Structure 1
Amino acid sequence: MIRTGRQYLDSIRDGRRIWVNGERVNDVTTHPMFRPIVNIRARIYDMQHEDAFRDRMTYVDGEGNRSAIGLKLPETRQDWDDKRLSTDTVLNEVGGVVTRVGDETIGEMWSLYDGQDLLNEVDPRFAQNIRNHVARAIYADPFHVSANTDPKGDRSKRPQDQDPDMLLHVVKETDAGIIVRGAKYETAAAYANQAFTKPTIANWGDSALSDYAVGFVCDFSSPNLKFICRTGFAGRAPETDYPLSNRFDEVEALVVFDDVLIPWENVLFYRHTKAATFIRATLHRYSAFAFVQRNLKLADMMIGTALFNVRQTGLDRQQAVQEKLARLACYREGINAHLTAAIAMAEPSPGGLLMPNQSLLMSGRVLACSQLHEMMHLTRELCGGQICVTPDAAAFADPETGPWLQKFYTINENWVADDRRRLLAYARDLLNSDYAGHRLTFQLFAQSPPFAHLAAVYRNFDWNPSLDFVKKSAGLSDAVVGK
């Protein structure tokens, strides 16, 4: 019911066709750009079996089967408290933020689980398929990710008016399943087991039965898949100088579907624009929680980095510095408050599950993402200019330059040069490195772009209490209601 790290590693040694930096990857588990993050995912699997973590990461069902808490269907507030604790346990153990490790992507399947009535309108098999795949995820414990973004092409044109493969679509039906062609971008695809693959566009080709309106679970060991990855950050510079880049980089891939067979049992909807529209509108009703929780940990990382930097030189006693630290704390606690309240005011979903309060969760996501760049810059200010001018670890170790750096980087008996260098290197990688810039962009777009974040708030906020109050306070007539 719960896998080991070794079982996971064996499962992705399946001959899949992966390229990175212009080279073919023979074994994704040993390649230097993938190995660190693959090992973290394996570590998460192993944690589920260890006495120190088992009770915080797994649960036992009524039949005595043990499964991962992150994959459990949420039905109570306690389920959400347990999921939050499980994620924190992982992030604290690995010592950083990993986003695409499965618990934050399975929620997108739960969103479609809520739409079974829509699926039944086309074919009852599709509703049964989503139930089967949710159950299979709980039972088989796969590394499950989510494939959303297409290469786009010219978005001023219909899909049919350009190269049709720019957007993933069905090219053929067979007795065994559908044949799909196109491509998707996806973080962690090269080292995951499967993905919930669905459309991103709202224009389905002006057709109620569009071949672009398709959603399915894709087994990444399927023939005819190709994974063309961006160059990873791990291994490009020493870990002593870039401790985050070398441990937590989650590599994206352009996944090319070159006439891939999707068995009928893996098809969740097809030629069903209403289902496609539904999933785009509700995709993050669950997954946003785990995503925003990671922003909370990023806030902790920035606060700790800034506070260590100002305390070592005594600047934390200055009011201007305290005010900047307070702004970081307000950002952190704002995220924390939205997450806590979203559980406390959780609401039933259309499919009988319990979802975080949607208005609070989506508002918290806007807070976490829209202010992240400001908080990073505030942390830079508090760390000071030395994060961009400090020599690398090799200079500190060199017999000629090392003594000078020991002299100028030692502050007192508590802050010796090596600790100060480590902190500055950590701050540089958190705030200034290529990896830091990549992660900032990822946080802005990984759960759809900012305009979609605000659209989700607009759809989920209850406008009526404000209208009712002003109607009564201003003495407006009943005729204005609903205008």
Structure 2
Amino acid sequence: MAIITREQYLQSIAEQKPAVYVGGQKIENIVDNPVFRTTINNMGLGYEWANDPQFADLVTAWSPLIEEKVSFWTALNYSADDLVRLIEAIRTFSGRYLCTMCMSIGLGVLWATTYDIDQAKGTDYHQRFKNFYKKLQKNDLRFCLGVMDPKGDRTLNPSQQEDPDQFLRVVEKRADGIIVRGAKMHTTSAPCVHYFVASPSRVMGEEDQDYALSFAVPVDTPGLTFIIRPAAGPLEPKEMESPISSEIGFVECLSVFEDVFVPWENVFMCGEWEFTPQFIHYFSSYVRLAKGTCVAARTDILTGVTALAAEYNGIEKASHVKSKLTDMMMTASLGWGCSLAAARQCSIHPSGIAIPDILVSNAGLYHTRLKFVEHMYTMQEITGGIVTTVPGEKDYQHPEIGPLVDKYLKGKTGVAAEERYRLIQLVQDMTASRLTGYLMSSAICAGGTPETNRVEVFRNYDLQEKKERAKVLAKIKPDHYWGRY
């Protein structure tokens, strides 16, 4: 099978019966519920791209595991070339449609983590994960990553919390599996995929071994409940007023585990607290690479929209407009350059997968994400205050008053009023709607906050080597090529 169609994906989702709540009501059928429309549409796009000759080479890859082509959401990356292909796919689709659902690529780091544990402890986690991954690839299944815990008091370790369920934990080990209890936050699209994969959110100490946990369960596993925050867009599509949020958007979930059973075959870490630093390192490398590429690609979109707004307003030649557009171009180019460098400077883990350069990927994401909100400001500034005062879609389409709106929204000669109206509504959707907050929060917090980027850069930068070079320049330390003349 390996690559399935959008229709097959929809059928598979319809057959699942996850426990889902939205607005205080239990949802029995997510496929026909408007709250999940944009999320399912987004997931379906990935299947369409994989079956489209125009994009198939970009979003599929040969898998030596099953000796078939698989989608890039389940492809493992074995080389720098694989990582470059990965970020080119993210850049292409995030630069067209704002999102590629790229955060899921972090699952592959369990390949490395399980290998590390097995090598040190003689366990069989790696084979379990390999079997699970083959299942994903053979059936073209999608998954969500449950990483972030509720955390409770951030100053306390997991085992020190007043409520022990603030971090997902093992409460019982049985001959056939484990029982887990707790929750995961920020699990995007969870009811609309096939598997939920849980992993540690932080480095653990020995006293936290019950929380050093990774496993996979079907999303309709008994005891697993999803409490949903709907996507930002309207329940019914608004072609003009909400051009983006009518098409894309993801439900977010508080995922609650109430004594959920996990068979041993789907357990990939259980108590090996000393390997949580490696997992966090590998995961951070991949997620920052993906998010940095995504934010850079979204900045390309902001740049194009802002340039078109300036053109429609007749100010495209103004020096301040060119200057601000140049700033946006620099951000997008810097972000992409760092992603490319992080991919090319990868290391190959003993398990065979490529690990992106964590220093460069964090530095790139940090600078790109800080500029993203500033560029949203610029986009609204160049478009004008009409972004928040423009008449609505129904008024524009009204047979009597619509022509009046059209008449007074005329811009530059040669530009149809409807085109300007549509662009204004696009900017409204991106900078003055509920989608705005999601885009901003996604840029700022998704894949870790800016402070986590700074921590990783400081941790991984070879400062001692630079200090030694300073000693040479100051002639504190001898060097064969320095100080001879």
Secondary structure at 2:284 match in 1: coil
Counterpart selection for 2:44 from 42, 45, 53: 42
Q: How does 1:31-430 map to 2 (within 5 A)?
A: 31-61=33-63, 65-91=68-94, 95-99=96-100, 101=101, 103-110=102-109, 112-114=111-113, 116-157=115-156, 159-185=159-185, 186-202=187-203, 204=205, 207=207, 210-236=209-235, 238-430=238-430
Tell me by how many angstroms 1:111 deviates.
5.0
Give the Cα–Cα distance (whole angstroms) in 1 for the partners of residues 67 and 145 of structure 2. 30
Give the Cα–Cα distance (whole angstroms) in 2 for the partners of residues 41 and 453 of structure 1. 29
Tell me by how many angstroms 1:455 deviates.
1.4
Give the Cα–Cα distance (whole angstroms) in 2 for the partners of residues 445 and 398 of structure 1. 41
Instruction: List per-residue Cα deviations over 1:245-266 (Å, max 9, x = no partner).
Output: 2221111011111111111011
Decide whether the 8 Å contact of 1:114 with 1:350 is kept in 2.
no
Change (3 A) 1:70 1:224: closer
Give the Cα–Cα distance (whole angstroms) in 2 for the partners of residues 138 and 288 of structure 1. 24
Give the Cα–Cα distance (whole angstroms) in 2 for the partners of residues 276 and 297 of structure 1. 31
What letter is aligned with 2:468? D
Tell me by how many angstroms 1:201 deviates.
4.2
Instruction: List per-residue Cα deviations over 1:427-468 (Å, max 9, x = no partner).
Output: 111122111112211222221222211112122223345223
Change (3 A) 1:115 1:454: farther
Instruction: List per-residue Cα deviations over 1:41-97 (Å, max 9, x = no partner).
Output: 1232133223333223223456752212343222223212322333345446xx412
Counterpart selection for 1:26 from 25, 28, 38: 28
Give the Cα–Cα distance (whole angstroms) in 2 for the partners of residues 194 and 56 of structure 1. 24
What letter is aligned with 1:219? P
What letter is aligned with 1:271? G
Instruction: List per-residue Cα deviations over 1:336-385 (Å, max 9, x = no partner).
Output: 21122223333323533223333221211112222222222122222221
Secondary structure at 2:423 match in 1: helix
1:481 counterpart residue number = none
Tell me by how many angstroms 1:120 deviates.
4.2
What letter is aligned with 1:197? A
Tell me by how many angstroms 1:199 deviates.
2.5
Tell me by how many angstroms 1:334 deviates.
0.7
Secondary structure at 1:105 match in 2: helix
Change (3 A) 1:214 1:345: closer
What letter is aligned with 1:224? G
Give the Cα–Cα distance (whole angstroms) in 1 for the partners of residues 301 and 267 of structure 2. 41
What letter is aligned with 1:67? V
What letter is aligned with 2:77? P
Tell me by how many angstroms 1:330 deviates.
0.8
Give the Cα–Cα distance (whole angstroms) in 1 for the partners of residues 99 and 320 of structure 2. 33
What letter is aligned with 1:164? P
Tell me by how many angstroms 1:228 deviates.
0.5
What letter is aligned with 2:138? Y
Tell me by how many angstroms 1:33 deviates.
1.6
2:457 counterpart residue number = 457
Query: Which stretches in structure 1 are left out of the alignment for 5+ residues?
Result: 479-483
Decide whether the 8 Å contact of 1:17 with 1:25 is kept in 2.
yes
Secondary structure at 1:261 match in 2: strand
2:483 counterpart residue number = none
Tell me by how many angstroms 1:236 deviates.
4.7
TM-score, scaled to structure 1: 0.91
Decide whether the 8 Å contact of 1:312 with 1:411 is kept in 2.
yes
* Percent of pairs with identical residues: 24
Decide whether the 8 Å contact of 2:165 with 2:182 is kept in 1.
yes
Change (3 A) 1:145 1:44: same
Larger deviation: 239-248 or 281-290? Answer: 281-290
Decide whether the 8 Å contact of 1:98 with 1:250 is kept in 2.
no
Change (3 A) 1:220 1:424: same
Larger deviation: 137-146 or 188-197? Answer: 137-146
Instruction: List per-residue Cα deviations over 1:393-433 (Å, max 9, x = no partner).
Output: 11212234323211111124532221111101111111221
Give the Cα–Cα distance (whole angstroms) in 2 for the partners of residues 404 and 140 of structure 1. 54
Larger deviation: 305-314 or 151-160? Answer: 151-160
Secondary structure at 1:306 match in 2: helix
Secondary structure at 2:313 match in 1: coil
Tell me by how many angstroms 1:301 deviates.
1.2
Instruction: List per-residue Cα deviations over 1:12-43 (Å, max 9, x = no partner).
Output: 22111111122222221221121122022123
Change (3 A) 1:150 1:59: closer
Give the Cα–Cα distance (whole angstroms) in 2 for the partners of residues 19 and 247 of structure 1. 22
Change (3 A) 1:194 1:64: closer
Decide whether the 8 Å contact of 2:41 with 2:248 is kept in 1.
no
**Superposition misfits of 4+ residues, deviation over 6 angstroms:** none
Decide whether the 8 Å contact of 2:59 with 2:72 is kept in 1.
yes
